Structures are given as C-alpha cells and as structure tokens.
Structure 1
Amino acid sequence: MQVLVRDNNVDQALRVLKRKLQREGVMREMRQRRAYEKPSERRIREKASAIRRARKAALKQARKEGLIAGPRPKNRSLRAGSGAAAR
C-alpha cells in the first residue's frame, strides 16, 4: 500500500495511511490474528455483533417512521467564538 507524502507533511500521510488500512480491514484482521480465538468465543462475538446490528437497524427504522425522536442536534453556537466575547 502506498501513500504520497506531500510538502513533507508526514502527519497527513499517516492519517491517510491509517484511513486506507481501516477501509481495507487490515486493522481488524491484525487484531483478530493477535491471539487464537476459540470457535465458541468466535460464535459468541459474532452473535453479539449481529444483535448490535439488528438493534441499530431497528432504531434507525423507528426514527425514520417517527416512533422515537432522533438524536439531539449539537449546539454549535458555543464553539463559534472564543472565551467570554462569544457569550
């Protein structure tokens, strides 16, 4: 995997590399291969993950149908200025 370093900006190149590795699933695979996982533990982990995905999908559907309120919007007015001058 290659990442171009532009204008000697190594920090930005590292961020781009990290993003690419996460998209490819390399980080997840490294974490999984770090130690042996028993088949029973794998089933438990995958089942918990499936339950989380199902809950998330149900919550999204309920919000879409208007059954529950969505997340509160963040108040950005406090971040706009600095110190007491903005308040």
Structure 2
Amino acid sequence: MVHVLVRDNNVDQALRALKKKMQREGIFREMKLRRNYEKPSEKRAREKAEAVRRSRKMLRKRMDREGF
C-alpha cells in the first residue's frame, strides 16, 4: 500500500508525491503491461530484452567509472 499525507489541505503537493511513489514502485508500468493480454512467449521475449538492456546499461556505467 502506498500512503501519502495531505498537509495543510495541499492536495496538489500530495498528488505529486503519490505519482512519484507510484513511479518508483513500478505501478504505472505494471498497469500498462496488464492493459492487454500478453502471450507467454511475448512475455519471455520482453523480459529477456529487458535483462539485456539492464546488463548493457550496467556495463556502460562500469566502463565509464573505470575510464574506458
């Protein structure tokens, strides 16, 4: 559960905080994925592509840190 406190009746600030928390937890991404049915083969392909993307990103960061 995501909780946000509304201080001084400032709903706009609370809404921004809620959106930020939902973004961090990946709720928006999950809602987008669940909007339509995804075949198991498509899910495997998507997850594999995401893993490749993550590993390349980490490799790029490591290379930048080491000075290559």
Is the shorter-chain TM-score for this pair beyond 0.5, marking a shared fold? Answer: yes
The separation in 2 between residues aligned to 1:2 and 1:52, in whole angstroms, is 32
TM (norm. structure 1) is 0.66
Structure 2 residue 24 is matched with structure 1 residue 30: no
Counterpart in the other structure of 2:7: 6
1:6 Cα deviation from its structure 2 partner: 1.4
Which of the two has higher C-alpha Rg?
Answer: 1
State the identity %.
66
Across the aligned residues of Structure 1 and Structure 2, the Cα RMSD in angstroms comes to: 1.5
Please identify which structure carries the higher helix content.
2
The separation in 1 between residues aligned to 2:52 and 2:25, in whole angstroms, is 24
* Structure 2: unaligned runs, 5 residues or longer: none
Query: Which structure has more RCO (C-alpha within 8 Å, separation ≥ 6)?
Result: 2
The separation in 1 between residues aligned to 2:44 and 2:59, in whole angstroms, is 22
The separation in 2 between residues aligned to 1:2 and 1:60, in whole angstroms, is 33
Q: Which runs of 4+ in 1 moved over 4 A?
A: none
